[in-house]
């Protein structure tokens, strides 16, 4: 399926990769999230995060983690699909999964130079911030693109197709044939 698979790392391989980049004098940026249905807000956020350093590694919530955080109907896309899509982005250098509710343990293992979250997070509430700051790193916020969210996309899809289901149930709404 392509070169993106080379960017998918186990937790320990991610740790080793971060250490190697840092030995090379590169500044490593870390961010995390569910990234369920990738949208322009995600792309802008990840592009801006990558601009803050030389390499960007993503901590991706596993399917089980997303279900605990977002509810039983999420994620819409599997962890394998979400990892593949993120890995295909030019701004992303590596992706690793985590199964916990927060990436605190993963961040403590990786110890990136810069930890990034969206502007909607206060620094004191960002998981892993203490570990990054304790080793001399930075914790930064990146602005979010207003009106963009996976939840919003799902809500628009449900609203748009709710009437379609009703038409289909009544025998109408066939999109594939002649009138």
With tokens 């690793």, the residue in question is 96
Domain of residue 111, residue span:
3-145
Task: Specify if 162 maps to a domain.
Answer: no
Task: Specify if 58 maps to a domain.
Answer: yes
Across all residues in the chain, what is the average pLDDT?
88
Quote the number of domains for the chain. 1
CATH code of residue 95: 3.40.50.620
With tokens 């991706």, the residue in question is 60
Express each pLDDT in 104-118 by its tens digit. 999 999 999 999 998
* Phi, psi of 149, deg, nearest 5: -160, 150
Tokens of 110: 């990786």
DSSP 28: E
Express each pLDDT in 43-95 by its tens digit. 999 999 999 999 999 999 999 999 999 999 989 999 999 999 999 999 999 99
């Amino acid at each position: 399926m392509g070169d993106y698979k080379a960017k998918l790392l186990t937790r320990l391989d991610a740790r080793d990769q971060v250490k190697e980049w840092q030995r090379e004098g590169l500044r490593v940026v870390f961010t995390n999230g569910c990234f369920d249905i990738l949208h322009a807000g995600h792309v802008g956020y990840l592009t801006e995060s990558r601009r803050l350093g030389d390499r960007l590694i993503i901590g991706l919530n596993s399917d089980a983690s997303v279900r605990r955080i977002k509810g039983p109907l999420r994620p819409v896309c599997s962890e394998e699909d979400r990892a593949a899509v993120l890995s295909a982005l030019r701004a992303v250098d590596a992706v690793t999964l985590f199964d916990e509710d927060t990436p605190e343990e993963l961040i403590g293992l990786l110890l990136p130079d810069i930890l990034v979250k969206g502007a909607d997070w206060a620094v004191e509430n960002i998981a892993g911030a203490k570990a990054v700051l304790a080793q001399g790193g930075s914790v930064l916020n990146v602005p979010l693109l207003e009106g963009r969210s996976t939840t919003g996309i799902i809500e628009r899809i449900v609203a748009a197709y709710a009437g379609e289901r009703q038409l289909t149930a009544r025998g109408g709404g066939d999109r594939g044939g002649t009138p």
